[in-house]
């Protein structure tokens, strides 16, 4: 579809307006992290910070145990993304491609599983983890995060598998690819956008989860970043500048992860299979 | 092949959810929980919750709030997804980065930033409005009534939820083959016709699940509602999850809280029932 | 129908089994762990005890009890209710916990804490802090030991007072209001100036005024409480709050408390002469302007004649009923409540819970000294389980203040409404 110059400019303006709208609170967070408490609450009009301080970032990095919290968070998050994608994909393919008894039941289960409020589930889940002897260990969090993100992963990937024409796979089969070869060369690249969406979803969910991270893990050596973030609040007050600086640091890995999967998966999908 | 997913869903979501149902028929306060006492009280917890006239007000408020936020989120998300498809690489990347940042920012930070932006005296919003000539917004309180408070909370939730919706729908659009677009364009289809004929079929299944999930999440949203004004002023922005928290954690009445949870679930099922049937059926036939 | 009832029975059995193990740690307390290396798990809150203090304390404790290791875990305030709930129910509950004083009656009423009535003498009971002591008792029994507390004072800019011609720190309401007038006369031309920054929902300050008038939040009869915000004394306290808000010309929001926005940041901006706050808020303000520390003075919140009573917020120490080593836990509390370590708390700027020696606090700068001065007149909120629900939930005192100050409700209506909510919470 070819657009006129006017259309292109109009679209660009819309795109930039949307970017500004969604970036503004983030921008405000970043500038707040560069302010002193009085500047945060200044009566002046300060859309652009007049002077900056890096004290908040220094105090955020200086909080002890940052590296161990970061490592734990990365292990739990990347682990749960991997497990959720693998289990989700394994379930999505038969759901999309095969007819079998209980399929409807399974779909219903996937739907209903998400209805219960998580805040109500934490006592039963705590008891389960205790009885499985997993409390205070990172796998307890990994398992729970997989469970939270799996329904969406299964459902979305199923839709994408369904969208791939069976003929394409059959053609590849004729070309001499084995079942695994077809999956790797045809199905997987076409799933690219779906894998990006679901993996970023899993990443953000696990990366930011606080309640279970707090309740399941006692040992400081095994705690994750959300708990670190909450240590900026004490009974004596909250270090808001510190929280904002920490949140900026906090959002960076998620951005890196997004850029990474985006490049790996989407470019593969659009460059390769669709045209073929 | 489905075994791993099945195990996760049953053991870590289904089973605990069932336990919540059992707990809702028990008297379970902190003491009983710690000592492991089991006291069955039949429907007492339900009677306690349902006999409070507030409960129905809160339920209605929650449903209205959810509807508004979901509608806004999905429309905005859909618009952005379509927009992203047509943007040049540079602008698209900028938009995507700002969306990922909005999505990945911890809730506590976003909520605090919103509180500051909407602050009566020092908020950038009121200052900007005054600068633009709306003098009456000097010292305007955004949190003085329940409706105004919920609107701000809705905006906050929406801002955090749109990125997910936009990315998922964008992924769905990318799933539609480019060849089809080209074919449509050669046939002389207008933008709208191409959207109806090509994008819409590709979007529909993803849109369906996104709407469904948005309803679930927005219905259950708690942290933001609580952080802004603890369900105030005078309880006017209290939603069902806030009620659950008040009964369960503030009051340590886990039995009553479980009853609220079950009732919430019933309301959710009622609200989404037709939709769920549609999802299940459509998956049997065309999707 | 048959399959329904069958599955119900099956489910009940399972739920029983699950619930059954929740309490398995409960009856093993006492002396089953006498031999071999032992571990004492201690939970204190983030920011409570300085690290130097705990290091020294744990060294001394471990030296005195060979074979014992103190497992010290710092807890976050955020989500502490959830964490305590699950931990107390687990089979390796901590042995010593710090709990907020307003939470204590609830835990005591639920019988999840050890009754320590017989041991209070060894915890320095004769020197306990008045504001906390009530919160540690329930139904005549002792369930917790006061740990530390703090109360609010008026922080003020010495330089502004001097320039406005206020020569002495106000000691009663009349002098306070007169000082405000002088400050306004001197600095009023600056439109950003506020003689006193007082947000509408600073209910801790309201408590001071109500107590000063001779009123209270509630009246107690045994373990039952009855809200008393509609008493003439309480209404008089509320009226003084409004008078203060109007006299000071504060621009603070009427629908928010002192933390949103954070008042210390506003004080640090240099356009505010006074705030009612805690001593360490000076440090927060100093982040914006380091000079502010030496420019800040402090005096107790004035009452009608002399300092008003103040709300004392703080923490207690308790032993969970599920602790496996309760004797050792008592030993630990005995050590931390000894004069030696209590004075360390005073040095760190807090009012010690089990020692009346405030000399270290008095030497800790004007704000700490003012806090020490008013600490003898400290009071607590009603020591009832219902109060925990109120403070962790929706606080009707805040709604009452906003409604009255903005004129949305009359004083009779506002107090009656808040009273009703309180009574409901007290009833459980």
What is the DSSP annotation of C85-141? HHHHHSTT--SEEEEETTTHHHHHHTT-B---GGGGGGGTGGG--HHHHGGGEETTE
A130 falls within a domain? yes
Cα separation, C25 vs C169, in Å, equals: 56
> Which tens digits make up the pLDDT trace of C239-268?
999 999 999 989 898 888 888 788 998 999
B16 falls within a domain? no
Looking at residue B135, the DSSP 8-state letter turns out to be: G
Confidence grade of residue B283 (pLDDT, cut at 50, 70, 90): low
pLDDT for the residue numbered C207: 96
User: Is A120 an interface residue toward C (CB < 8 Å)?
Assistant: no
Cα separation, C167 vs C178, in Å, equals: 12
Handedness of CA B222, B226, B228, B229 (dihedral sign): positive
Contacts of C90 in chain A (CB under 8 A): 126, 130, 135
Chain-chain contact of B139 with C251 (C-beta, under 8 angstroms): yes
Q: Is the pLDDT of residue A54 over 80?
A: yes
Nearest Cβ partner for C79 among A41, A214, A218: A214
Region C165-169: mean pLDDT is: 95
Q: Is the pLDDT of residue C160 over 70?
A: yes
User: What distance in Å separates residue B46's CA from the closest CA in chain A?
Assistant: 16
User: Is A181 an interface residue toward B (CB < 8 Å)?
Assistant: no
User: What distance in Å separates residue B18's CA from the closest CA in chain A?
Assistant: 9
User: Is C18 an interface residue toward B (CB < 8 Å)?
Assistant: yes
For residues A76 and A208, membership in a common domain is answered with: yes
For residues A49 and A155, membership in a common domain is answered with: no
Least confident of A22-36, A233-247, B102-116: A233-247
User: Is A49 an interface residue toward B (CB < 8 Å)?
Assistant: no
Torsion of CA B141, B144, B146, B147, to 10 degrees: -40
For residues A74 and A204, membership in a common domain is answered with: yes
- CA geometry: angle B13, B18, B24, nearest 5 deg: 130
Chain-chain contact of C90 with A38 (C-beta, under 8 angstroms): no
Range of the domain at A165: 64-271
Percent of chain A whose predicted confidence (pLDDT) is above 70:
94
For residues B135 and B265, membership in a common domain is answered with: no
CA B149 to chain centre: 17
Neighbours of chain B (3+ CB pairs under 8 A): A, C
pLDDT for the residue numbered C19: 39
Chain-chain contact of C268 with A135 (C-beta, under 8 angstroms): no
> Which tens digits make up the pLDDT trace of C312-351?
989 999 999 989 999 999 999 999 999 999 999 999 899 9
For residues B225 and B143, membership in a common domain is answered with: yes
Classify A208 as helix, strand or coil.
helix
Region A114-129: mean pLDDT is: 81
Number of domains in chain B: 2
| DSSP β-bridge partners for residue C42 | C72, C96
* Tokens 């639920």, residue located: C110
For residues A16 and A102, membership in a common domain is answered with: no
H or E segment and range at residue C221:
strand C218-221
Confidence grade of residue B147 (pLDDT, cut at 50, 70, 90): very high
pLDDT for the residue numbered A271: 39
* Strands C141-142 and C224-227, sheet pairing: unpaired
Interface of A with B in 97-136 (CB under 8 A): 104, 106-121, 123-125, 128
Contacts of C389 in chain B (CB under 8 A): 246, 250-251
Looking at residue A266, the DSSP 8-state letter turns out to be: I
Contacts of C295 in chain A (CB under 8 A): none
Above 0.90 for ipTM, yes or no?
no
Contacts of C254 in chain B (CB under 8 A): 141
pLDDT for the residue numbered A132: 87
B162 falls within a domain? yes
For residues B156 and B31, membership in a common domain is answered with: no
User: What distance in Å separates residue A198's CA from the closest CA in chain C?
Assistant: 29
Cα separation, C84 vs C114, in Å, equals: 15
> Which tens digits make up the pLDDT trace of A137-156?
999 999 999 999 998 898 88
Highest mean pLDDT among B17-26, B225-234, C211-220, C283-292: C211-220
A58 falls within a domain? no
Interface of B with A in 176-215 (CB under 8 A): 176-179, 181, 185, 191, 194, 202, 205-206, 209, 212-213
Chain-chain contact of C261 with B230 (C-beta, under 8 angstroms): no
Q: Is the pLDDT of residue C93 over 60?
A: yes
pLDDT for the residue numbered C9: 35
Nearest Cα residue in chain A from C79: A211
Confidence grade of residue A23 (pLDDT, cut at 50, 70, 90): very high
Chain-chain contact of C285 with A210 (C-beta, under 8 angstroms): no
Confidence grade of residue C30 (pLDDT, cut at 50, 70, 90): very low
Q: Is the pLDDT of residue C28 over 50?
A: no
User: Is B23 an interface residue toward C (CB < 8 Å)?
Assistant: yes
* Tokens 């933001």, residue located: B224
> Which tens digits make up the pLDDT trace of B203-218?
887 888 889 889 988 9
Cα separation, B25 vs B48, in Å, equals: 12
User: What distance in Å separates residue C241's CA from the closest CA in chain A?
Assistant: 24
> Which tens digits make up the pLDDT trace of A208-226?
898 899 889 888 888 999 8
Nearest Cβ partner for B112 among A46, A240, A255: A240
Name, in order, each residue with C-beta under 8 angstroms of C89's C-beta and a sequence gap of 6 or more.
Answer: B33, B34, B36, C22, C23, C322
Region A92-113: mean pLDDT is: 80
Kindly state the tokens that stand for C354.
């089990």
For residues B284 and B146, membership in a common domain is answered with: no
pLDDT for the residue numbered B282: 65
Interface of C with B in 70-129 (CB under 8 A): 81-82, 85, 88-89, 106-107, 109-112
Chain-chain contact of B232 with C399 (C-beta, under 8 angstroms): yes
User: What distance in Å separates residue B155's CA from the closest CA in chain C?
Assistant: 19
For residues B232 and B96, membership in a common domain is answered with: yes
B54 falls within a domain? no
Nearest Cα residue in chain A from B131: A45
For residues B232 and B286, membership in a common domain is answered with: no
User: Is A260 an interface residue toward B (CB < 8 Å)?
Assistant: no
Q: Is the pLDDT of residue B287 over 50?
A: no
For residues A40 and A132, membership in a common domain is answered with: no
pLDDT for the residue numbered A244: 87
Kindly state the tokens that stand for C4.
């329904």
For residues A164 and A212, membership in a common domain is answered with: yes
For residues B280 and B217, membership in a common domain is answered with: no
> Which tens digits make up the pLDDT trace of B126-137?
989 998 988 888
| DSSP β-bridge partners for residue C69 | C39
CATH number, domain at B148? 1.10.3720.10
Nearest Cβ partner for A37 among C21, C48, C265: C265
Task: Report chain C's mean pLDDT, rounded to a whole number.
Answer: 88
Contacts of C266 in chain B (CB under 8 A): 122
Number of domains in chain A: 2
Q: Is the pLDDT of residue B122 over 90?
A: no
Is A43 within 8 Å of A169 (Cβ atoms)? no
Contacts of B101 in chain A (CB under 8 A): 22-23, 26, 251, 255
Nearest Cβ partner for A28 among B113, B172, B241: B113
For residues A24 and A89, membership in a common domain is answered with: no
For residues B74 and B203, membership in a common domain is answered with: yes
pLDDT for the residue numbered B88: 87
Looking at residue C303, the DSSP 8-state letter turns out to be: B
Nearest Cβ partner for C394 among B23, B38, B230: B230
Classify C157 as helix, strand or coil.
strand
User: Is C20 an interface residue toward B (CB < 8 Å)?
Assistant: yes
> Which tens digits make up the pLDDT trace of B153-206?
999 999 999 999 999 898 888 876 566 666 776 677 777 777 777 778 778 878
Chain-chain contact of A147 with B206 (C-beta, under 8 angstroms): no
Q: Cβ of A216: how many Cβ atoms within 10 Å?
A: 27
| DSSP β-bridge partners for residue C41 | C71
User: Is C16 an interface residue toward B (CB < 8 Å)?
Assistant: yes
Is B127 within 8 Å of A45 (Cβ atoms)? yes
A183 falls within a domain? yes
Range of the domain at B183: 66-238
For residues A13 and A99, membership in a common domain is answered with: no
Give the residue with greater pLDDT, B278 vs C95.
Answer: C95
B249 falls within a domain? no
B56 falls within a domain? no
b vs e for B163-199, b when ≥16 Cβ sit within 10 Å of the residue's Cβ? bbbbbbbbbbbbbbbeeebeebbeeebeeeebbeebb
Domains annotated for chain C, with CATH where assigned, are 30-150+313-379 (3.40.190.10), 153-311+394-426 (3.40.190.10)
Give the residue with greater pLDDT, B28 vs C89.
Answer: B28
b vs e for B39-59, b when ≥16 Cβ sit within 10 Å of the residue's Cβ? eeeeebbbebbeeeeebeebb
For residues B195 and B265, membership in a common domain is answered with: no
* Tokens 């209910």, residue located: C203
Region C345-361: mean pLDDT is: 91
pLDDT for the residue numbered C400: 95
């Amino acid at each position: 579809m070819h657009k006129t110059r006017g259309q292109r400019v109009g679209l660009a303006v819309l795109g930039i307006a949307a970017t500004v709208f969604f970036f503004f609170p983030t921008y405000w967070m970043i500038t707040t992290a560069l302010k002193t408490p009085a500047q945060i609450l200044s009566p002046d009009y300060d859309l652009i910070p007049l002077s900056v301080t890096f004290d908040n970032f220094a105090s955020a990095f200086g909080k002890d145990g940052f590296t161990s919290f970061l490592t734990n968070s990365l292990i739990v998050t990347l682990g749960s993304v991997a497990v959720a994608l693998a289990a989700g994909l394994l379930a999505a393919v038969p759901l999309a491609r095969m007819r079998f008894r209980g399929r409807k039941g399974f779909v219903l289960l996937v739907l209903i599983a998400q209805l219960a409020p998580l805040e109500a589930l934490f006592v039963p889940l705590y008891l389960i983890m205790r009885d499985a002897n997993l409390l205070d260990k990172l796998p307890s969090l990994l398992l729970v995060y997989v469970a939270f993100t799996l329904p969406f992963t299964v459902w979305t990937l199923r839709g994408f598998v369904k969208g791939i024409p069976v003929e394409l796979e059959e053609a590849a089969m004729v070309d001499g690819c084995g079942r695994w070869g077809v999956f790797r060369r045809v199905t997987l690249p076409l799933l690219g956008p779906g894998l990006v969406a679901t993996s970023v979803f899993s990443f953000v969910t696990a990366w930011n989860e606080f309640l279970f991270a707090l309740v399941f893990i006692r040992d400081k050596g095994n705690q994750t970043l959300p708990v670190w973030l909450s240590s900026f609040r004490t009974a004596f007050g909250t270090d808001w500048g510190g929280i904002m600086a920490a949140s900026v640091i906090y959002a960076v890995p998620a951005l890196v992860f997004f850029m990474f999967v985006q490049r790996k998966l989407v470019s593969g999908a659009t460059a390769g299979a669709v045209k073929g | 092949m489905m075994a791993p997913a099945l195990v996760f869903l049953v053991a870590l979501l289904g089973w605990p959810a069932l336990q919540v149902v059992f707990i809702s028929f028990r008297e379970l306060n902190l003491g009983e929980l710690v000592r492991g006492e089991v006291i069955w009280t039949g429907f007492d917890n339900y009677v306690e919750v349902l006999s409070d006239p507030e409960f129905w007000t809160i339920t209605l408020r929650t449903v209205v709030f959810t509807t508004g936020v979901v509608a806004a989120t999905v429309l905005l998300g859909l618009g952005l997804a379509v927009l992203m498809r047509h943007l040049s690489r540079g602008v698209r990347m900028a938009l995507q980065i700002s969306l990922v940042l909005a999505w990945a920012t911890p809730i506590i930070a976003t909520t605090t930033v919103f509180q500051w932006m909407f602050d009566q005296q020092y908020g950038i919003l009121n200052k900007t409005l005054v600068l633009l000539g709306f003098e009456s917004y000097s010292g305007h309180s955004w949190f003085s009534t329940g409706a105004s408070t919920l609107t701000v909370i809705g905006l906050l939730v929406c801002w955090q939820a749109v990125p997910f919706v936009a990315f998922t729908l964008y992924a769905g659009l990318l799933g539609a083959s480019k060849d089809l677009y080209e074919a449509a364009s050669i046939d002389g289809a207008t933008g709208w016709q191409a959207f109806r004929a090509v994008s819409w079929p590709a979007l529909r299944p993803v849109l369906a699940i996104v709407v469904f999930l948005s309803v679930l999440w927005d219905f259950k949203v708690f942290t933001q509602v609580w952080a802004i004004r603890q369900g105030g002023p005078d309880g006017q922005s209290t939603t069902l999850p806030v009620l659950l928290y008040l009964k369960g954690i503030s009051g340590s009445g886990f039995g009553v809280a479980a009853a609220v949870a079950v009732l919430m679930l019933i309301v959710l099922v009622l609200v989404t029932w037709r939709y769920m049937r549609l999802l299940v059926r459509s998956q049997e036939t065309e999707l | 129908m048959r399959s329904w009832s069958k599955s119900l029975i099956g489910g009940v059995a399972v739920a029983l089994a699950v619930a059954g193990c929740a309490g398995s740690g409960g009856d093993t307390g006492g002396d089953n762990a006498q031999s071999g290396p032992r571990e004492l798990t201690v939970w204190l809150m983030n920011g409570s005890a300085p690290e130097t203090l705990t290091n020294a304390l744990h060294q001394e404790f471990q030296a005195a009890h060979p074979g014992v290791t103190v497992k010290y875990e710092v807890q976050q305030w955020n989500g502490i209710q959830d964490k305590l709930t699950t931990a107390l129910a687990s089979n390796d509950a901590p042995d010593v916990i710090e709990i907020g004083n307003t939470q204590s009656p609830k835990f005591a009423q639920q019988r999840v804490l050890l009754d320590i009535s017989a041991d209070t003498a060894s915890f320095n009971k004769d020197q306990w802090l008045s504001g906390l002591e009530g919160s540690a008792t329930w139904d005549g029994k002792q369930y917790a030991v006061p740990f530390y507390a703090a109360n609010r004072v008026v922080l003020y800019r010495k330089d502004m007072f001097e320039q406005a011609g206020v020569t002495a720190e106000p000691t009663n309401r009349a002098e306070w209001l007169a000082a405000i007038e002088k400050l306004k006369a001197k600095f009023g031309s600056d439109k950003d100036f506020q003689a006193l920054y007082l947000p509408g929902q600073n209910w801790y300050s309201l408590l001071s005024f109500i107590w000063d008038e001779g009123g209270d939040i509630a009246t107690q009869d045994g373990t039952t409480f009855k809200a008393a915000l509609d008493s003439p004394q309480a209404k008089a306290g509320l009226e003084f709050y409004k008078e203060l808000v109007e006299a000071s010309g504060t621009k603070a929001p009427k629908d928010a408390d002192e933390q949103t926005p954070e008042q210390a940041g506003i004080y640090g901006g240099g356009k505010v002469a006074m705030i009612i706050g805690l001593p360490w808020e000076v440090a927060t303000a100093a982040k914006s302007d380091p000079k502010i520390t030496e420019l800040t003075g402090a005096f107790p919140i004035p009452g009608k004649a002399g300092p008003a009573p103040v709300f004392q917020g703080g923490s207690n120490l308790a032993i969970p009923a599920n602790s496996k080593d309760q004797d050792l836990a008592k030993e630990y509390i005995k050590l931390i409540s000894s004069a030696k370590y209590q004075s360390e708390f005073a040095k760190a700027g807090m009012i010690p819970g089990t020692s009346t020696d405030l000399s270290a606090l008095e030497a800790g700068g004007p704000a700490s000294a003012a806090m020490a001065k008013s600490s003898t007149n400290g009071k607590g909120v009603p020591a009832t389980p219902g109060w925990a629900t109120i403070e962790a939930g929706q606080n009707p005192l805040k709604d009452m203040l906003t409604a009255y100050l903005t004129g949305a409700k009359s004083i009779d209506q506002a107090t009656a409404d808040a009273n009703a909510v309180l009574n409901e919470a007290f009833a459980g």
